[in-house]
Structure 1
Amino acid sequence: MISYAVALFFLIITPGIGVLTTAGIGSSFGAGPGIRFLIGLNIGTNAAAILVVSGIAAIVLADPIVGPVLLYGSLLYLSYLAFRIGWAGARIAFVERRSAPGVLGGIGLQLINPKSYAVNTTLFSGFHFMPGDPVLEVVVKFAILNTLWVPVHLIWLWAGISLKRLDLSPATQSVINKLMALALMIVVVLAGWPRQQIG
């Protein structure tokens, strides 16, 4: 159980699509929108885990047509989120400041987040500590997942909000937002790259 918790901690604290988007929304839009997005992100995380545990994710992603469509669709959506974060504080005439993705945006992000499925597959298919009761083991794993997931993501959100509270100049805030968007795009490219190579 301890090895599972340690692995989970390091898998979710490393910069991935979820935490980078959370920090970016906190920096670009503030606490309220960030919390709403985080609620959706948590719902989406648990939904993705359920899809992995039930085997539905493996069946859908293995389909030669549906799998690639979902992959490239998710990469396009993630690129769109990066754009919204990158230009949220920019004073550019042809880019309108838009509202942050809400609860539904958070749910959608985790349901198409490649890292979410990879992490959940690793965590739920390994680290067995209750071989005599696999159902209880899954329940305990979900409890540990949420116990660690919530504070880690709140820390990332706080980091983003802290940048916003510094009352930086519009130009500086714009640069920060664009750097966060760039970091998110790097993660998106890395998420898609291995599968592109296979194809």
Structure 2
Amino acid sequence: MLTFTLAVLLLFITPGPGVLTTAGFGAAYGFRPSLQYVFGLFLGTNMVMLAVITGFAAVILSIPWLRWVLMAASIAYLLYLAARIAFAGARVGFIAAKAPPGILGGLALQAINPKAYVVNTSLITGFSFAPDNLPFEILSKALIMNAIWIPVHLAWLYAGTVLHELNLSDTAQRRINMAMALAMLSVVALATLTATQS
């Protein structure tokens, strides 16, 4: 169980779409306005976990054309979120927004987030510590994953918020937003590269 817990921690703290958008929206909009988005991510990650546990995710992802559709949707949505972060507070009419996406935005990201499926599949199907009592193992894994997921994402949100609350100049804030968006774009590039190699 200790090995599993360490694996969860390492997988959850590494930058992926969820933590990058969490930090990005924290930096762009602040802590409280971004909480609904993080709550949506939380619901979404548990939805993905349930899909993995029930085998629904394996069935869906075994259909090649559907896997490509989901990957394309994922990339498009990640590009959109990167633009929201990059242009937060900017006067670019078609993209400027006063607040981050809410609960549905977070839920939608996790539903099409490739990392969410890979991480959940790895953790749920691997690191067996109670092979004779599968219900106990699955429930324990779900509780451990959530117990780590929540503080990790709140820490990333807080880290982004610290940048937001420094009252930096508009130029400095814009540069931070752009850096967060570029980090998101690197995730998009990695996701695309991974998809084309599988």
Normalization by structure 1: what TM-score?
A: 0.95
Q: What is aligned with 1:197?
A: 197
Equivalences, count: 198
- CA deviation after TM superposition for structure 1 residue 87, in Å: 0.3
The one-character-per-residue Cα deviations of 1:87-139 (angstroms, maximum 9, x if unpaired) are: 00334566533431001111111111100000011100011111111011100
Instruction: Check conservation: 1:90, 1:171, Cα contact below 8 A.
Output: no
SS in structure 1 of the partner of residue 148 of structure 2: helix
Q: In structure 2, do the counterparts of structure 1 residues 103 and 93 end up closer, same or farther at CA, with 3 Å as the change threshold?
A: closer
1:21-36 correspondence runs (5 A): 21-36=21-36
Q: What is aligned with 1:58?
A: 58
Give, as a single letter, the amino acid of the residue that structure 2 aligns with 1:71: M
Q: In structure 2, do the counterparts of structure 1 residues 182 and 107 end up closer, same or farther at CA, with 3 Å as the change threshold?
A: same
Q: In structure 2, do the counterparts of structure 1 residues 96 and 112 end up closer, same or farther at CA, with 3 Å as the change threshold?
A: same
Q: What is aligned with 1:68?
A: 68
Q: What is aligned with 2:119?
A: 119
The one-character-per-residue Cα deviations of 1:41-64 (angstroms, maximum 9, x if unpaired) are: 101000001101111111111102
Instruction: Check conservation: 2:84, 2:96, Cα contact below 8 A.
Output: no
Instruction: Check conservation: 2:89, 2:96, Cα contact below 8 A.
Output: no
Instruction: Check conservation: 1:90, 1:170, Cα contact below 8 A.
Output: no
The separation in 2 between residues aligned to 1:29 and 1:171, in whole angstroms, is: 16
Q: In structure 2, do the counterparts of structure 1 residues 128 and 89 end up closer, same or farther at CA, with 3 Å as the change threshold?
A: same
The separation in 2 between residues aligned to 1:94 and 1:47, in whole angstroms, is: 31
For structure 2, the residue ranges without an aligned partner over 5 or more in a row are none
The separation in 2 between residues aligned to 1:95 and 1:67, in whole angstroms, is: 28
The one-character-per-residue Cα deviations of 1:129-158 (angstroms, maximum 9, x if unpaired) are: 111110111001000001111001111000
Normalization by structure 2: what TM-score?
A: 0.96
Instruction: Check conservation: 2:130, 2:137, Cα contact below 8 A.
Output: yes
SS in structure 2 of the partner of residue 160 of structure 1: helix
Identity %: 46
- CA deviation after TM superposition for structure 1 residue 192, in Å: 2.0
Q: In structure 2, do the counterparts of structure 1 residues 171 and 8 end up closer, same or farther at CA, with 3 Å as the change threshold?
A: same
The separation in 1 between residues aligned to 2:59 and 2:34, in whole angstroms, is: 33
The separation in 2 between residues aligned to 1:130 and 1:12, in whole angstroms, is: 22
Give, as a single letter, the amino acid of the residue that structure 2 aligns with 1:139: L
Q: In structure 2, do the counterparts of structure 1 residues 93 and 38 end up closer, same or farther at CA, with 3 Å as the change threshold?
A: closer
Corresponding position: 1:182 with 2:182: yes
The separation in 2 between residues aligned to 1:93 and 1:60, in whole angstroms, is: 37
Q: What is aligned with 1:100?
A: 100
For structure 1, the residue ranges without an aligned partner over 5 or more in a row are none
The separation in 1 between residues aligned to 2:183 and 2:159, in whole angstroms, is: 15
Q: In structure 2, do the counterparts of structure 1 residues 102 and 132 end up closer, same or farther at CA, with 3 Å as the change threshold?
A: same
